[in-house]
Amino acid sequence: MVMDTLQIRLSHGLVERIDLMVKTGIYANRSDVVRDAVRRFVWEREVGSITKKGNSLEIIRNVRNKLSKEKTNLEEINNL
């Protein structure tokens, strides 16, 4: 899998917290921490884009049900 490289600047405090997650074994390395954070951010943005009209819980259940019946391309998801 080919990935793009990004250079980011973070505060010393954030880097210390990231390193602690790596040191305690939650993540394998710093890149995994950042990738997971970005995936979570994207997911929250997508969920937040659900219309506020109607029952959002029911909308989410319907979407999950539909997605569970479709073929899932894990490679595409992992590339997010």
What tens digit of pLDDT does each residue of 16-61 get? 999 999 999 988 999 999 988 887 777 777 766 655 566 656 766 7
What is the spatial distance between Cα 2 and Cα 78, in angstroms, rounded to a whole number?
11
Query: Which amino acid is it at 25?
Result: G
What is the spatial distance between Cα 16 and Cα 6, in angstroms, rounded to a whole number?
19
pTM of the model: 0.57
